[in-house]
Amino acid sequence: MSVTPGPGTTAPTTASTTASTTASTTPAAGSAGPSAGPRDGGGPVSFKAACPDCKARFELTADALRLAIGASRRTTFYSFTCPACGAAVRKHAGERIIELLTGGGVSTLRSV
């Protein structure tokens, strides 16, 4: 998964979580960072993702993703519905993914 910043924003540097899930960003020319996105008056942030079921690649808005931060690795994940095949997708979220998603305005559920 990677973050594509809106106009007037950039994304952080490349990071990865698991072998099957990668979070990376590509800076836009003359931009400032995803934290400068929706919350700071910049343009909307979109997230590039892929479906493990149908292999489709697409972009999602922050509203299309959910982040759950739990007490363990097993209970910390992000999820979305594949717009191509309708599959419910759930993937592990490491520290870098959590930073990218929360900085991009993704709705977050914290549990203990």
- pLDDT tens track for 63-94: 999 999 999 988 999 999 999 999 999 999 99
Cα end-to-end distance, the chain, whole Å: 26
pLDDT in tens, 11-51: 332 222 222 333 333 323 222 223 333 445 567 899 999 99
pTM for the whole thing?
A: 0.64
Degrees to nearest 5, angle at CA 61 with 86 and 37: 165
